[in-house]
């Protein structure tokens, strides 16, 4: 089999899974097993094809399906290979997780819609990466969007899910329209839907800028860049947990892929204006900080994780923006560094966000709640899930020796190369975005102390949490795979980077090259004297230190257990613990101007303000993007609808007159 | 190989001298306040006593609570091993640069906060919430102020950064002044000294660090206390060696090493006197003034960065 047939096998296996979902709807157990196994096979094919795409030359094929004059073109190159690999790795883990997860879901309802649309959604994502013409790209893109709409509204009895689904569909199509516009500009220049022709076409600067703007807003909407993120925190939590893992872990990465394909590959970075990179950098910085600030104020576990996706997409965009700026000023090696940092973070985020959403799914299944105010103490009831979730928390907080730190380190290194752009305005802007990156990292750590501390530690805050059961073996296996990979990617970046380095080599004909290979031990992205990091030494040193002390202390066993210190108060109860709301209170106060929290305090007393009977405190933090962007747009469109309302109430000859005038206008345009 | 051994020796020196350093500050402070203060070896005695005691755990403390002290101590000790103390060219500075240094300290803090959340008392939650809030502001300020230096040095490697400062002569750079001011503010906050946190309090509603480790006892407490002492010495050394590296040994011969060790101790004493003076003179801030203070540090660091670009690039 050639490489391209491996790449084709992945979506085909996914389509087969969808078919199996329909055919076996009467036997639930077989249905689940077959769909999950086919998805796993699809994941393996995607991994294989991804590796092949990274390691060998681009391979193309033309499929005799599609429009009569436009067969489907597919192509497997390094960029497609990398993203197929990302999809394959997480999909494999999620397929295993689903075997256990869906068994529990199936107790309550028929999962046939899920078995149909989940594989279609996967096939759409895989198809987008290997598309080699605009038509194929858009077909698969829409397949991905529409199939995921049905997954978001899977539990459609709940009003909130239907609303989230509608918002998602609306924004997905608006984004799709913008992307289509981008392709239209490229089509006009290249005269063909094929990517090869678009790549070769020479765009004039204004048209290139237009195509870039359409791409950045269209793909940005799908990726969830602030302020185009509004659908993301609504839609991701609404879907079943294994779907949330895929949506947050890889679907928004497919948007990053689309951006890279269109801007870095088709438009080409030789046409960039200086502000392109600056725009991406600014959007990335604001997403990184805005996403984590909003995440801190969420009390629903899955919603919180969804906001962290906004943050991490921001970090990826910072890397991409840096790359574009360096490419504009003709520093190809540094541009490659920015891109490699972004891609490394793409892979990392797919892993740890997939892991965290799967963990959230395990918690949801065990306690039937994602409201952090009702959880707590799960580390004792679900020790393995807790340990795996903790790995995800450490990774996403960018702490060594896990993988999140490596990609943030690389992004910092790229940002610190700003002095190369001497005397430009940008060189002062870049350190500012580095500051935003540092702020986002530190806030993320605060947020995940809150998540782990409130959900898994302390005392259970509800009966459901007190009686939770550990997730089953399949789910643990599904979570263990990304957890192990998080550690490996954190410890062995030197082995991974040469693989990723292929992508910039094929996209911008420049890579980190030899400088990245400072031996198997040292990660030196630019030059050894500039910066180096040896995760293995850090890991070994940490293990040695921890191990030495454990050995000393395991001997002196005996520990005494007693009640915690309660300041002399006789009974500590779970309601005295800090909650998610109180944990984030100091930050709410510090960033009050950004949050504009609305709080409400109700109190009743026994006739004297000091003799309190009952206190009730409520605080609500709204995403300011709603108030300042979405609601005005909504009001405007409603206003517009009312203005043209009279057009709808015409007698029949009125409508005929409209048709006639329209035809005349169109004829006038043609002549 | 010799250098690796020397690096290990310096790390052990830092870890070993840390309790003494804290005792010295206590002593200076006591003298300034007309008290006698504890003897210099008291910190070691306290640690030895704690190590010998049987630890008492809260009833539902989990494995996170029991492993956290080891992680905290290991991460802090490793961070101390990265910083060049006496000799400039150290092999471990290549294994982990300044960003990794900040991240290692963040790892220690992450586990301190998790351990605080573990038992589920209000004190733990309060301490963790405050600590992580302040850290969210100190960490970027620290990175930014160090970046000012690393941009000037074209490297995030600490050896290279110190080399640059040593070899650029005594040229006064405004950006470095901003960075130094920011890092001093950060160091005070990170080590939990007055005016941000008071290391001498127990059971006060304004406490931060103490609230987090309230449930610890025995060897666990000893490890955390020791890690904290290492942190103080680490920040002092970092400040001195990044901004005032004069006297550090650039070659590994006995004379320059002796001179370097002596000058390090001398500079430390001066810094600790200043710290004791400052702590005697200042009162602790209200807890919600701290963000303003940390915001100031962050702004100073960014100003340092900007002034580097505006005034110094290409000059």
**Where along chain B do its domains lie?**
2-312
Q: How many CB atoms lie within 10 A of CB B2?
A: 8
How many residues are listed for chain A in this entry?
671
Burial bucket for residue A90 (CB in 10 Å: 0-12, 13-18, 19+): buried
Residue B85 sits at the vertex; the CA angle it makes with B81 and B91, to the nearest 5 degrees, is: 55
| Interface contact A112, partner B, CB < 8 A | no
Q: Which two tokens stand for residue A489?
A: 């990617």
Q: Which two tokens stand for residue B60?
A: 């539902």
Q: Is the pLDDT of residue A262 over 80?
A: yes
Q: Which of A394, A458, A564 sits opposite B117 (nearest CB)?
A: A458
Q: How many CB atoms lie within 10 A of CB A229?
A: 27
Q: Which two tokens stand for residue B99?
A: 């960003």
The DSSP bridge partners found for residue A74 are A61, A131
Q: Which of B60, B75, B116 sits opposite A380 (nearest CB)?
A: B60
**Residue A605: strand, helix, or coil:** strand
Mention every residue, 6+ apart, whose C-beta is less than 8 A from residue A339.
A264, A319, A320, A323, A503, A504, A507, A508
Q: Which two tokens stand for residue A343?
A: 């891609």
Residue A134: which H helix or E strand, with range? helix A134-152
CB pairs under 8 A between A and B: 256
Comparing A522 with B4, the larger pLDDT belongs to: B4
User: How many Å apart are CA A232 and CA B288, to the nearest integer?
Assistant: 33
Q: What is the pLDDT of residue B169?
A: 64
| Interface contact A458, partner B, CB < 8 A | yes
Q: Which of A428, A446, A459 sits opposite B309 (nearest CB)?
A: A428
Q: What is the pLDDT of residue A1?
A: 60
Q: Which of A376, A533, A562 sits opposite B96 (nearest CB)?
A: A533
Q: Is the pLDDT of residue B168 over 90?
A: no
Of all residues in chain B, the one with the smallest CA distance to A551 is B70
User: Is B298 within 8 Å of A450 when comparing Cβ atoms?
Assistant: no
Q: Is the pLDDT of residue B92 over 70?
A: yes
Per-window interface: A 345-384 vs B, CB < 8 A = 376-377, 379-380, 383
- The answer to whether the Cα torsion of A524, A530, A536, A539 is positive or negative is negative
Q: What is the pLDDT of residue B315?
A: 46
Q: Is the pLDDT of residue B170 over 70?
A: no
Give, in order, the Cα–Cα distances in Å from A213 to each of A188, A208, B46. Answer: 16, 9, 64
Q: Which of A541, A562, A577 sits opposite B59 (nearest CB)?
A: A562
User: Is B99 within 8 Å of A412 when comparing Cβ atoms?
Assistant: yes
Q: How near does any CA of chain A get to the CA of B56, in Å?
A: 5
Of all residues in chain A, the one with the smallest CA distance to B117 is A453
Residue-range definition of the domain harbouring residue A544: 272-553
**Residue A70: strand, helix, or coil:** strand
Mean pLDDT of A405-421: 87
The DSSP bridge partners found for residue A300 are A371
SS3 for chain B is CHHHHHHHHHHHHHHHHHHHHHHHHHHHHHHHCCCCCCCCCHHHHHHHHHHHCCCEEECCCCHHHHHHHHHHHHHHHHHHHHCCCCECCCCHHHHCCHHHHHHHHHHHHHHHHHHHHHCCCHHHHHHHHHHHHHHHHHHHHHHHHHHHHHHHHCCCCHHHHHHHHHHCCCCCCHHHHHHHHHHHHHHHHHCCCCCCCCCCCCCCCCCCHHHHCCCCCHHHHHHHHHHHHHHHHHHHHHHHHHHCCCCCECCCCHHHHHHHHHHHHHHHHHHHHHHHHHHHHCCCCCHHHHHHHHHHHHHHHHHHHHHHHHHHCCC
Q: How near does any CA of chain B get to the CA of A571, in Å?
A: 11
Q: Is the pLDDT of residue B112 over 90?
A: yes
| Residues of chain A above pLDDT 90, percent | 55
Contacts of A532 in chain B (CB under 8 A): 94-95, 97, 157
Q: What is the pLDDT of residue A97?
A: 95
List the single best residue of A293, A373, A400 to mutate versus B (max B Cβ within 10 A): A400
Q: Is the pLDDT of residue A398 over 60?
A: yes
User: Is A449 within 8 Å of B117 when comparing Cβ atoms?
Assistant: yes
In a domain, A319, yes or no: yes
Domain count, chain A: 1
User: How many Å apart are CA B190 and CA B177, to the nearest integer?
Assistant: 20
In a domain, A243, yes or no: no
In a domain, A543, yes or no: yes
ipTM of the complex as predicted = 0.95
User: Is A431 within 8 Å of B128 when comparing Cβ atoms?
Assistant: no
Q: Which of B117, B160, B309 sits opposite A457 (nearest CB)?
A: B117
User: How many Å apart are CA B95 and CA A610, to the nearest integer?
Assistant: 59
User: Is A556 within 8 Å of B305 when comparing Cβ atoms?
Assistant: no
Task: Identify the weakest region by mean pLDDT among A235-244, A458-467, B196-205.
Answer: B196-205
Residue A586: which H helix or E strand, with range? helix A585-590
User: How many Å apart are CA B31 and CA A58, to the nearest integer?
Assistant: 75
Q: What is the pLDDT of residue A553?
A: 67
User: Is A586 within 8 Å of B130 when comparing Cβ atoms?
Assistant: yes
Q: How near does any CA of chain A get to the CA of B191, in Å?
A: 17
User: Is A522 within 8 Å of B94 when comparing Cβ atoms?
Assistant: yes
User: Is B123 within 8 Å of A565 when comparing Cβ atoms?
Assistant: yes
Residue A284 sits at the vertex; the CA angle it makes with B137 and A407, to the nearest 5 degrees, is: 75
Q: How near does any CA of chain A get to the CA of B7, in Å?
A: 13
Of all residues in chain B, the one with the smallest CA distance to A446 is B132
In a domain, A126, yes or no: no
Q: Which two tokens stand for residue A254?
A: 């497919």
Q: What is the pLDDT of residue B287?
A: 82
How many residues are listed for chain B in this entry?
315
Give the best-scoring range by mean pLDDT among A16-25, A491-500, A612-621, B25-34: B25-34
Contacts of A522 in chain B (CB under 8 A): 94-95
User: How many Å apart are CA A508 and CA A333, to the nearest integer?
Assistant: 9
Residue A613: which H helix or E strand, with range? strand A612-620
Contacts of A573 in chain B (CB under 8 A): none
Residue A454 sits at the vertex; the CA angle it makes with A449 and A460, to the nearest 5 degrees, is: 155
User: How many Å apart are CA A491 and CA A391, to the nearest integer?
Assistant: 14
Main-chain dihedrals φ then ψ at residue A61, nearest 5 degrees: -155, 155
Angle between the N-to-C axes of helices B98-118 and B218-243, in degrees from 0 to 180, rounded to the nearest 10? 150
Instruction: pLDDT band for A423, please (50, 70, 90 cuts).
Output: low
For residues B75 and A542, is the Cβ–Cβ distance under 8 A? yes
User: Is B106 within 8 Å of A379 when comparing Cβ atoms?
Assistant: no
Residue with tokens 């057009």: A647
| Residues of chain A above pLDDT 70, percent | 97
Contacts of A533 in chain B (CB under 8 A): 95-97, 99-100
In a domain, A388, yes or no: yes
Contacts of B290 in chain A (CB under 8 A): none
Average pLDDT, chain A: 89
User: How many Å apart are CA A651 and CA A265, to the nearest integer?
Assistant: 53
| Interface contact A591, partner B, CB < 8 A | no
Q: Which of B59, B133, B309 sits opposite A446 (nearest CB)?
A: B133
Residue with tokens 């909003």: A294
User: How many Å apart are CA A392 and CA A360, to the nearest integer?
Assistant: 11
Q: Is the pLDDT of residue A521 over 70?
A: no
Instruction: pLDDT band for A519, please (50, 70, 90 cuts).
Output: low
A401 preceded by cis ω (within 30°)?
Answer: yes
Main-chain dihedrals φ then ψ at residue A619, nearest 5 degrees: -135, 140
Contacts of A557 in chain B (CB under 8 A): none
Q: How near does any CA of chain B get to the CA of A197, in Å?
A: 42
For residues A374 and A535, is the Cβ–Cβ distance under 8 A? no
Give the best-scoring range by mean pLDDT among A14-18, A21-25, B69-73, B108-112: B108-112
Q: Which of B114, B133, B140 sits opposite A452 (nearest CB)?
A: B114
User: Is B120 within 8 Å of A439 when comparing Cβ atoms?
Assistant: no
Of all residues in chain B, the one with the smallest CA distance to A406 is B100
Residue A215 sits at the vertex; the CA angle it makes with A209 and A216, to the nearest 5 degrees, is: 90
Mention every residue, 6+ apart, whose C-beta is less than 8 A from residue A343.
A82, A319, A500, A503
User: How many Å apart are CA A475 and CA A94, to the nearest integer?
Assistant: 9
Contacts of B314 in chain A (CB under 8 A): 422-423
For residues A414 and A501, is the Cβ–Cβ distance under 8 A? no
Comparing A530 with A466, the larger pLDDT belongs to: A466
Q: Is the pLDDT of residue B57 over 60?
A: yes
User: How many Å apart are CA A465 and CA B47, to the nearest integer?
Assistant: 39
Q: Is the pLDDT of residue A32 over 80?
A: yes
Q: Is the pLDDT of residue A307 over 50?
A: yes
Q: Quick one: how far is CA B119 from the chain centroid? A: 27
Mean pLDDT of A533-545: 80
The DSSP bridge partners found for residue B56 are A560
Long-range own/partner contacts, residues A526-531 (CB < 8 A, 24 or more apart)? A526/A333, A526/A334, A526/A337, A526/A413, A526/A417, A528/B94, A529/B155, A529/B157, A529/B160, A530/A413, A530/B154, A530/B155, A530/B156, A530/B157, A530/B160, A531/A413, A531/A416, A531/B97, A531/B155, A531/B156, A531/B157
Per-residue pLDDT tens digits for A314-371: 999 999 999 999 998 888 888 999 999 999 999 999 999 999 999 999 999 999 999 9
**Residue A194: strand, helix, or coil:** strand
Burial bucket for residue B166 (CB in 10 Å: 0-12, 13-18, 19+): middle
In a domain, A417, yes or no: yes
In a domain, A301, yes or no: yes
Q: Is the pLDDT of residue A177 over 80?
A: yes
Contacts of A549 in chain B (CB under 8 A): 70, 73-74, 223
Q: How near does any CA of chain B get to the CA of A452, in Å?
A: 8
For residues A147 and A120, is the Cβ–Cβ distance under 8 A? yes
Contacts of A311 in chain B (CB under 8 A): none
User: Is B117 within 8 Å of A454 when comparing Cβ atoms?
Assistant: yes
User: How many Å apart are CA A201 and CA A168, to the nearest integer?
Assistant: 34
Q: How near does any CA of chain B get to the CA of A110, in Å?
A: 39
pTM for this one?
0.94
């Amino acid at each position: 089999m050639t490489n391209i047939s491996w790449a084709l096998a992945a979506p085909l296996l996914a389509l087969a899974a969808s078919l199996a979902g329909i055919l076996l709807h009467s036997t639930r157990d077989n249905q689940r097993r077959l769909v999950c196994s086919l998805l796993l096979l699809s994941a393996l094919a995607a991994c294989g094809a991804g590796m092949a795409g990274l390691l060998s030359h681009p391979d193309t094929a033309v499929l005799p399906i599609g429009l009569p004059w436009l067969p489907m073109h597919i192509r497997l190159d390094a960029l497609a290979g990398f993203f197929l690999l990302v999809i394959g790795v997480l999909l494999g883990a999620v397929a295993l997780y689903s075997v256990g997860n869906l068994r529990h879901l199936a107790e309550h309802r028929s999962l046939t819609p899920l078995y149909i649309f989940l594989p279609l959604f996967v096939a759409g994502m895989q198809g987008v990466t290997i598309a080699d013409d605009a038509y194929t790209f858009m077909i698969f893109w829409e397949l991905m969007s529409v199939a995921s709409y049905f997954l978001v509204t899977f539990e459609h009895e709940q009003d909130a899910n239907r609303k989230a689904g509608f918002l998602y569909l609306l924004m997905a199509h608006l984004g799709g329209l913008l992307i289509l516009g981008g392709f239209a500009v490229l089509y006009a220049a290249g005269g063909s839907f094929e990517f090869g022709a678009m790549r070769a076409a020479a765009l004039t600067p204004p048209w290139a800028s237009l195509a870039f703007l359409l791409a950045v807003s269209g793909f940005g909407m799908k990726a969830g860049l602030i302020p185009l993120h509004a659908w993301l925190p609504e839609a991701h939590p609404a879907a079943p947990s294994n779907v949330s893992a895929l949506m947050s872990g890889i679907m928004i990465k497919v948007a990053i892929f689309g951006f890279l394909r269109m801007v870095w590959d088709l438009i080409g970075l030789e046409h960039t204006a200086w502000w392109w990179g600056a725009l991406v950098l600014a959007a990335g910085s604001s997403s990184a900080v805005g996403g984590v600030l909003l995440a801190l104020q969420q009390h629903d576990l899955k919603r919180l994780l969804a906001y962290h996706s906004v943050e991490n997409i921001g970090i990826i965009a910072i890397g991409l923006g840096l790359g574009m700026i360096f490419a504009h000023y003709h520093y190809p090696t540094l541009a490659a560094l920015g891109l490699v940092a972004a891609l490394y973070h793409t892979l990392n985020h797919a892993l740890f966000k997939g892991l965290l959403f799967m963990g959230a799914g395990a918690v949801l299944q065990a306690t039937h709640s994602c409201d952090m105010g009702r959880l707590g103490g799960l580390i004792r009831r679900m020790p393995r899930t807790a340990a795996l979730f903790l790995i995800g928390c450490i990774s996403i907080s960018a702490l060594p020796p896990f993988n999140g730190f490596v990609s943030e380190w690389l992004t910092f290194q790229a940002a610190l190369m700003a002095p190369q752009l001497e005397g430009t305005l940008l060189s002062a802007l870049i350190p500012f975005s580095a500051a935003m990156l540092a702020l986002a990292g530190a806030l993320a750590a605060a947020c995940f102390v809150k998540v782990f501390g409130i959900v898994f530690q302390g005392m259970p805050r509800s009966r459901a949490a007190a009686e939770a059961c550990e997730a089953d073996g399949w789910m643990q296996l599904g979570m263990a795979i990304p957890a192990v990979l998080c550690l490996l990617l954190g410890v062995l970046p030197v082995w991974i980077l040469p693989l990723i380095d292929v992508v910039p080599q094929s996209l911008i004909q420049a890579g980190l090259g030899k400088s990245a290979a400072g031996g198997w031990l040292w990660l030196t992205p630019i030059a050894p004297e500039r910066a180096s990091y040896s995760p293995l030494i850090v890991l070994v040193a940490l293990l040695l230190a921890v191990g030495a002390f454990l050995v000393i202390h395991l001997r002196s066993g005996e520990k005494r257990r007693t009640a915690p210190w309660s300041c002399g108060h006789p009974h500590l109860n779970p309601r005295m613990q800090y909650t998610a709301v109180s944990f984030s209170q100091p930050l709410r106060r510090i960033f009050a101007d950004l949050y504009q929290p609305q709080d409400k305090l109700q109190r009743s007393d026994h006739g004297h303000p000091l003799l309190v009977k009952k206190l009730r405190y409520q605080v609500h933090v709204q995403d300011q993007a709603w108030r300042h962007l979405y609601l005005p747009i909504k009001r405007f469109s409603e206003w517009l609808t009312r203005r043209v309302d009279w057009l709808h109430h015409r007698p029949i000859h009125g409508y005929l007159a409209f048709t006639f005038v329209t035809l005349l206008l169109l004829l006038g345009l043609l002549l | 190989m010799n250098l690796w051994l020397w690096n290990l020796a310096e790390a052990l020196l830092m870890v070993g001298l840390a309790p003494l350093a804290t005792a010295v500050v206590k002593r200076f402070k006591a003298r300034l306040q007309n008290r006698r203060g504890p003897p210099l070896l008291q910190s070691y005695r306290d640690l030895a006593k704690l190590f010998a005691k049987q630890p008492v755990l809260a009833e539902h403390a989990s494995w996170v609570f029991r492993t956290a002290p080891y992680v905290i101590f290991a991460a802090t000790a490793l961070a101390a091993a990265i910083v060049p103390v006496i000799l400039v060219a150290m092999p471990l500075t290549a294994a982990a640069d300044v960003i990794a240094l900040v991240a290692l300290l963040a790892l220690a803090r992450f586990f301190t906060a998790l351990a605080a959340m573990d038992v589920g008392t209000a004190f733990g939650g309060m301490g963790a919430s405050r600590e992580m809030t302040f850290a969210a502001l100190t960490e970027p300020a620290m990175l930014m102020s160090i970046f000012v230096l690393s941009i000037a040095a074209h490297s995030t490697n600490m050896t290279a950064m110190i080399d640059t400062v040593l070899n650029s002569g005594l040229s006064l750079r405004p950006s470095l002044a901003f960075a130094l001011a920011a890092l001093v503010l950060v160091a005070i906050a990170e080590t939990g000294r007055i005016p941000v946190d008071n290391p001498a309090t127990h059971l006060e509603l304004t406490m931060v660090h103490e609230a987090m480790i309230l449930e610890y006892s025995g060897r666990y407490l000893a490890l955390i206390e020791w890690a904290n002492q290492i942190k103080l010495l680490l920040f002092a050394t970092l400040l001195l060696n990044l901004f005032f590296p004069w006297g550090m040994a650039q070659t590994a011969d006995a004379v320059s090493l002796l001179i370097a060790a002596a000058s390090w101790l001398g500079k430390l004493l001066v810094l600790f006197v200043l710290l004791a003076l400052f702590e005697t003179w200042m009162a602790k801030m209200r807890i919600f003034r701290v963000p303003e203070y940390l915001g100031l540090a962050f702004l100073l660091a960014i100003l340092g960065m900007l002034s580097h670009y505006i005034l110094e690039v290409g000059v």
